[in-house]
Homo-oligomer: A and B are copies of this chain.
Amino acid sequence: MAEVKNKQVIFKNYVEGVPKESDMYISDTATIKLKVPHEEEASPSVLVKNLYLSCDPVMRIRMRKPGDETSSYFTPFAPGSPIVGYGVSKVVDSKHPEFKAGDLVWGITKWEEYILIKNTQSFFKINHTDVPLSYYTGILGMPGMTAYAGFYEVCNPKKGEYVYVSSAFGAVGQLVGQFAKLMGCYVVGSAGSQEKVDILKNKFGFDEAFNYKEEADLTAALKRYFPQGIDIYFENVGGKMLDAVLLNMRLHGRIAVCGMISQYNFEQHQGVTNLMHLVYKRVRMEGFFVPDFYHLYPKFLDLVVPFIKQGNITYVEDIVEGLENGPASLVRLFSGRNAGKAVVVVARE
């Protein structure tokens, strides 16, 4: 069988500091047979065509050099190989009994046009196709499940509670805020531009929002928006923001630690100095990892798909066309210049 060209985004080398487009390059040299090879039948593989690729903050962690403690939890990218990440794909050929040609799936793939998937464990079959397919990189994919697990499962929210979301315009944050509003909470979000702040308030229905870059004193800013204090903090950024939040938590507050994007470009993270406030206010701070919650995916769909169809939840995507524009989209995440969930279109069908 003839081979086809397989365009790829290759990871050049481990990154220190802010990732740049030049940390990746486009390769046109690879080819691939669009058939699961015979010898793969023992461990049933699937050959897929990638349609949409997802840019996620956690990918910065995987750009770090192996060797520190991190690498046992997030396998570093291999220099000279394609970037690894979540995506939406279409099955071209399958030796796996649960997948057949034409099926749509989402899960962990690589930044290339076609890929032979030997480990289908992270793959979910897409059954609801009356929503935008790209949503399975976001609201109906890993970021959606992250918002759901972190907010409902980790934070144990109650109606009327005061909720603060940092990086509120991100793929996860915009959903956490909307989940919290649907539950009857008071919700404030922060983001990095006035434009994002306006959308948080006017489109996502946050009660308040602010541009953290305009606040010289984050503690004072939070005190202004939360005179009664914060019951729930959905932690996406870390560092100074976390320190300011700790000073503003309420008794028996909860902090779901999803990530700390403000810190990923530092070799040594900024020190957090106000942890004694965990004691003063009896606060629970808990890290979580979304794959631990994937067994809840059907329950999640039952909740969120109707919300989308009825217009109770909106979702903003920042879509770029073409695999070759993937690196630019990915690096924009780490400069705060993305405008919603960052998605790369590889092919529409």
A residues in contact (CB < 8 Å) with B = 69-70, 73-74, 238, 242, 247, 257-260, 263, 268-289, 292
Smallest CB gap from A68: residue in B = B247
Given known A263-B276, A273-B270, A275-B260, contact A281–B73 (CB-CB < 8 A): yes
Q: How far apart sit A172 and B292, CA to CA, in the bound complex (Å)?
A: 34
Q: Would you call B247 and A277 a contact (CB within 8 A)? A: no
Q: How far apart sit A274 and B271, CA to CA, in the bound complex (Å)?
A: 8
Given known A247-B69, A284-B284, contact A279–B289 (CB-CB < 8 A): yes
Q: Would you call B285 and A292 a contact (CB within 8 A)? A: no
Cβ-neighbour of A69 out of B273, B275, B277, B285 (below 8 A): B277
Q: How far apart sit A206 and B269, CA to CA, in the bound complex (Å)?
A: 34
Q: Would you call B271 and A69 a contact (CB within 8 A)? A: no
Q: How far apart sit A278 and B263, CA to CA, in the bound complex (Å)?
A: 14
Give every chain B residue within 8 A of A258 (Cβ-Cβ): 279
7 A-B pairs whose Cβ atoms sit less than 8 Å apart in the complex: A69-B247, A74-B280, A257-B275, A259-B279, A260-B275, A272-B272, A282-B286
Q: Would you call B285 and A286 a contact (CB within 8 A)? A: yes
Taking A276-B287, A278-B285 as known contacts, 15 extra A-B pairs with beta carbons closer than 8 A to each other, sorted by chain A number, are A70-B280, A73-B281, A259-B276, A260-B275, A268-B273, A270-B271, A272-B272, A279-B287, A279-B288, A280-B287, A281-B287, A282-B289, A282-B292, A285-B285, A285-B286
Give every chain B residue within 8 A of A286 (Cβ-Cβ): 278, 282-285
Smallest CB gap from A271: residue in B = B271
Taking the closest CB of chain B, its distance from the CB of A240, in whole angstroms, is 10
Counted per complex, copies of this chain come to: 2
Q: How far apart sit A147 and B260, CA to CA, in the bound complex (Å)?
A: 32
Give every chain B residue within 8 A of A259 (Cβ-Cβ): 276, 279
Give every chain B residue within 8 A of A269 (Cβ-Cβ): 273-276
Cβ-neighbour of A278 out of B257, B276, B279, B280 (below 8 A): B257
Give every chain B residue within 8 A of A70 (Cβ-Cβ): 276, 280
Taking the closest CB of chain B, its distance from the CB of A173, in whole angstroms, is 16
Smallest CB gap from A243: residue in B = B271
Q: How far apart sit A263 and B281, CA to CA, in the bound complex (Å)?
A: 18
Q: Would you call A287 and B292 a contact (CB within 8 A)? A: no
Q: How far apart sit A83 and B286, CA to CA, in the bound complex (Å)?
A: 36
Taking the closest CB of chain B, its distance from the CB of A229, in whole angstroms, is 10
Which one of A268, A284, A292 has the greatest number of beta carbons of chain B within 10 Å?
A: A284
Taking the closest CB of chain B, its distance from the CB of A4, in whole angstroms, is 39
Q: How far apart sit A201 and B257, CA to CA, in the bound complex (Å)?
A: 36
Give every chain B residue within 8 A of A260 (Cβ-Cβ): 275-276, 279
Give every chain B residue within 8 A of A287 (Cβ-Cβ): 276-284
